[in-house]
Amino acid sequence: MRHLFAAAMVMTCLLGPATLSASSLQSNAPDGPCRARRIYVAELGESGEVERFRRELKRQLARKKFVLVARAEDADGVLAGRFSHTGSGRESKLAFESGELKDGRGERLWHGNFYFTRASIKSVASAVAANLRDACRR
């Protein structure tokens, strides 16, 4: 009976009402200070949802008061990384890995990895934009 109760508790924790779990892994020491305001969003991978994520990321960056530019040469920083989306429903996993913002000289201003379970593309883009804004505000 005790084992049955323990198994029920584990299942409740795993399948409970939580719909989002995210983690951002980031080093505390980027190559240089982040003072970027104008950003160019580079290609972000090859999965089927990449273009949708790229559009939403641009929208979220604009909401965080970044200025988006059409050419890398016009930017204070170039944002690159790999977006992936696998599964569906409860098995859905979204990731933005190896995210980096680099200046024109190639110095890294910001970097991070984001992993989500059962999340929307909008919530991933919002988390990346908010983390970038916080890093560039210092």
* Residues 103-118: tens digit of each pLDDT: 988 999 999 999 999 8
* Terminal CA-CA length for the chain: 54
Query: Measured between alpha carbons, how far is 4 from 8 in angstroms, rounded to an integer?
Result: 6
The reported pLDDT for the residue numbered 32 is 53
Model-level pTM greater than 0.95? no
Name the residue type at position 79.
L
Q: Dump pLDDT digits (tens) for 23-60.
A: 444 444 455 567 899 999 999 988 778 999 999 999 99
In this structure, whether the domain defined by 35-137 belongs to CATH 3.40.50.10070 is answered with yes
